[in-house]
Amino acid sequence: MSVFHLKYRPQKLSDLDLADVADRLRKYLSVKEIPQSFLFAGPKGAGKTSAARILARLINCEDKIEGEACGVCDNCKDILSGRSMDIIEMDAASNRGIEDVRSLKEKAYLSPTKLKYKVFIIDEVHMLTKDAFNALLKLIEEPPKHTIFILCTTDAEKIPDTVLSRLIRVDFRKGGREELKRSLEKIITGEEVRITTEAIDFILDKSDGSFRNLQRSFNELVLSLGKELSLNQIEDFYSKRSGSYSEEDFENDLIGKEIKKILGKLEKMADDGVDFVVFRENLLVYFQKKLLAYFNVGNEKVKMDLKALESWINLLIRAAKQEKETEIDQLPMELAVIDFLGDIEDKNCNPKEIEKQKETEDLKKNDKLDGVKVVTIDVAGLNIDKVMESWGNILMTVKPFNHSVEAFLRASRPVELDGRKLVLEVFYPFHKDRLEEARNRKIVEEGLLKVLGVELAFECVLGKSKKEPLIIHNDTPMESVSEKLADEEKKEDKKDLYDVAKDIFG
């Protein structure tokens, strides 16, 4: 079976998934003087390169039929077979220097070998260097008569204004639901796939709007499940691919601030070889719908407040960017979760949580510390080792007052006791910021006082050492030092996420 996105690549203007783009191109080609320099701008998988090739054929076809290339004349055949010397495609991502543009220029000044127009299709044009853009600018300012330039980009913002102003810009975009459906139905018909309307709707719900991704996913579906597809099978397929951690479960875990549970699941998914790009895309689609629901668009049930939702979506977008910068697939998602849950204290997530916070505050006012073991040790004998030994108790004391302060402390490491100042090593700037906020500082200092019996101030320093935070497990009494060391030794073999994160993202 051939690959769907190639087999069903549009061949005519009327095949283009975006009808408005087809209309605009028709208009440009209907005038006597065809524009010579185009910019096709828009997201990946929206059909820019396909449209560029269609355009190349259309302006060279000797026997157009109803505004479309005939597909059978010599010129059409030459181009379709990829043999034509007059269609020049260049990927600016790998040919981005001035020399590359110079050699392109030389070709541009030679007459076409056979076709009416030489067509230059430059992909990812925003990747060109500044010098290369300058050279290109001269070329498109006064293009040789027989040349057409089609510059394609996913990032038009990066193209110099001087160049932009010379180009006829055609904007490509992600597909709307009906457009995606039309695109999918072409394949369903072409491949004689049997599938229910509900199943098609399900696939469209999971789509991120990219025609190419939709075709690829459907290709995978048919390859793994065959040509008779039921909704159940498809749901199963998608849930396996995204690691059986449903978007809703994930949302609930976020709201429940189940950081340990979420990170554990993400690690398990990484072991299972789950595709984290797909997983993240699914989450993004899911939470975007929740965002719209805030403004009564759609009928999703909203669980987070707007501020929390916006912040989480921004973190997912950040994770998308970071995916390209790390080899550890799950890391960007883990960082998003850690940052979100570190930050969420200010945002209301659900009424229960607010109630719980209130109770904690009340408890604090009454200064009742039921169930918390208070250990006081000899003041004179206090040193950093004693602080470390009592760290578990300190965490337990702090926890009822503020869960996230406890989480920040747990992710830090007491490193030095300088008189009455305790130095904590933290591994993220935002941990430092949060711990040092006046309100949180007070909670920590009270915890230190209660457990150590000494008034201590503290200071956070950003992690310089390659050591891990002092790992203390939740809700368990302080482990013995030897257990802890054994635990840390075991971890030596594993890659230290914190260090890796720091190296990569600073």
Residues that bind Zn ion (CB under 5 A): 61, 69-70, 73, 76
Distance between CA atoms of residues 505 and 498, nearest Å: 10
DSSP code per residue over 243-293 = TT--HHHHHHHHHTT-HHHHHHHHHHHHHTT--HHHHHHHHHHHHHHHHHH
The token pair that represents 49 in the structure block: 């390169």
Q: Which is nearer to Zn ion, 54 or 417 (CB)?
A: 54
Q: Which is nearer to Zn ion, 74 or 437 (CB)?
A: 74
Closest CA to 372 of 391, 400, 404: 400
CB of 76 to Zn ion, least distance (A): 3
CB of 72 to Zn ion, least distance (A): 6
CB of 60 to Zn ion, least distance (A): 8
Helical packing angle, 391-398 and 438-452, nearest 10°: 130
The token pair that represents 258 in the structure block: 């189940």
DSSP classification of residue 65: B
Q: Which is nearer to Zn ion, 73 or 204 (CB)?
A: 73
Q: Which is nearer to Zn ion, 63 or 305 (CB)?
A: 63
Distance between CA atoms of residues 286 and 303, nearest Å: 12
What phi and psi values does residue 135 have, to the nearest 5 degrees? -65, -40
Q: Which is nearer to Zn ion, 21 or 56 (CB)?
A: 56
Closest CA to 318 of 305, 337, 304, 293: 337
Q: Which is nearer to Zn ion, 84 or 210 (CB)?
A: 84
CB of 65 to Zn ion, least distance (A): 8
CB of 111 to Zn ion, least distance (A): 20
Distance between CA atoms of residues 504 and 335, nearest Å: 12
Distance between CA atoms of residues 346 and 336, nearest Å: 17
DSSP classification of residue 469: P
CB of 63 to Zn ion, least distance (A): 5
CB of 64 to Zn ion, least distance (A): 7
Q: Which is nearer to Zn ion, 43 or 112 (CB)?
A: 112
Element of type H or E holding 162: helix 161-164
CB contact at 8 A, 338 and 260: no
Q: Which is nearer to Zn ion, 69 or 90 (CB)?
A: 69
CB contact at 8 A, 429 and 440: no
CB of 221 to Zn ion, least distance (A): 35
- Beta strands 413-418 and 421-426 are antiparallel
CB of 75 to Zn ion, least distance (A): 6
Q: Which is nearer to Zn ion, 70 or 285 (CB)?
A: 70
Distance between CA atoms of residues 431 and 498, nearest Å: 12
